[in-house]
Amino acid sequence: MKSVMGIVLSFFILSITSGQDSLSEKKVKLSSISQFGLLVGESGESATIQLINGIKKDKWFAGFGAGIDFYVERGVPLFIDIRRDLTNGKNALFLYADGGIYFPWLNFIQKEQRPNSTMAPGAYYDVGLGWKLRGKNKRGFLLSAGYTAKQDKGKTTFPTWNPAITGFENTAGYYNYKYRRLVLKVGIQL
Give the tens place of pLDDT for each residue, 166-189. 667 777 777 777 889 999 999 998
CA pair distance 143, 40, nearest whole angstrom: 16
Which domains are seen in the chain, by residue range?
Answer: 2-189 (2.40.160.20)
Give the tens place of pLDDT for each residue, 4-51. 455 544 554 444 444 444 444 458 889 999 999 999 988 889 899 999
Read out DSSP for 38-65?
EEEETTEEEEEEEEEEEEEETTEEEEEE
Strands of 3-139 (E only): list them.
Answer: 22-23, 28-41, 44-57, 60-69, 75-85, 91-104, 117-120, 122-134
Q: List all residues 6 or more positions away from 42 whose beta carbon is below 8 Å from its beta carbon.
A: 180
